Structure formats: structure tokens, C-alpha cells
Amino acid sequence: MRIICLLLLALPALADDLSDARAVFEGNLAAIREHNRDKYLSYYLHSDLLVRGGPTGFTTGYDDFAKGAGAQWPDLIEGSDIHLTPLQPGWVYGTYRYRVRYGAEEHSGISERLFVKTPDGWKIAVTGAERHHRHPRRQDRLRRRVQSPRGDRRRRRERDVGHAGAHRRACPLLADRMG
């Protein structure tokens, strides 16, 4: 019963945390769109405890992060499918899908953030991104499959059934179940 009472007392605080974290998220994207370096940096934890992760690895610290901020702004940035989860009062974890374009080059992927409540307001304490890579070989294979004549598909099906038949002969116990 005590746990339920504590949870009921914490729910309004968690709802406020979610809206505050969402405001930081939206403000961060707006600063990027505006190419406003000072505003952009104001959303991050000004500490050696700021954590950044990505394709190049894991780094910590605000100072190195701030040195590179604003060196290259994207022509377009979109954030969608945001999911925020309160971990405890003052801590919110979030993920979202991103799409950025620098000239003709476009990237998309999943990004994650850990928002923390500090005496200076809500800040991003952990940031990371994982870029989606397109697989042209896989796309070409699928395209060829769709465009291939019927005979090719029939031969592949016969080949696959032939393999299944060999398994049935090798495993008599499964043959009854497989038909």
C-alpha cells in the first residue's frame, strides 16, 4: 500500500518531467535549425560528465564537445517518432528517429538522449546516434528477384524443396511431423 501511495505522489512529477524533457528536445532541434550555437550548447550538461556516443566511439566532457559545435550545420534536420520514458524523478530517457541533410548527402538513424534535471534546468547528459546504412547489394538482389522470369523462381523453389526432402530422409522422427 505504501508503494502505491508513493507512486501516486510521484506521477505528477513524472508527467512534468516528460514535458520538460520534450521542451529541451524541441529547443535543441530548433537551435540546430536556426544555426544558433549558443542556444544549442545551452541544452547540454556543462560538465566533464557529459557523455557522447556514436560511430567513432565513446567520449566525455563538455569542453571538447563545445569546441566542435556549430562547425557544420545541416541544411535540414528532422526529428520524429520521439519516445520519452521517465526513469525516476529528474531523469528521462528518450529516443527518436532523425534525418539530416548536408547538401546532397543525407543521413538517417536513431538517436538517444538522457535528460537530467539540474539546478540550471533540464540538460542533455547523454547523447548518442546510430546511423542507418543502406544496403545497395540487398536492394539490388531484391530488385533482380522481382524482375526475374518465372522459371528462375520455380528452379529456386525446387532447389529449396529438394533440400527439405533431404532433411526429411536424414531425420525420420521429423518426417512424420513434416508430412
Pair type for strands 57-60 and 76-88: unpaired
Q: Which long-range contacts (CB under 8 A, 24 or more apart) does 169-174 make?
A: none
Segment 129-172, tens digit of pLDDT: 988 765 444 444 444 444 545 555 555 555 554 444 444 343 34
pLDDT (tens digit, 9 = 90+) per residue, 18-76? 999 999 999 999 999 999 999 999 999 999 999 999 888 889 999 999 998 988 999 99
Residues 6+ apart with CB under 8 A from 99: 76, 77, 78, 80, 106, 107, 108
Residue 17 has pLDDT above 80, yes or no: yes
In this prediction, residue 1 carries a pLDDT of 55
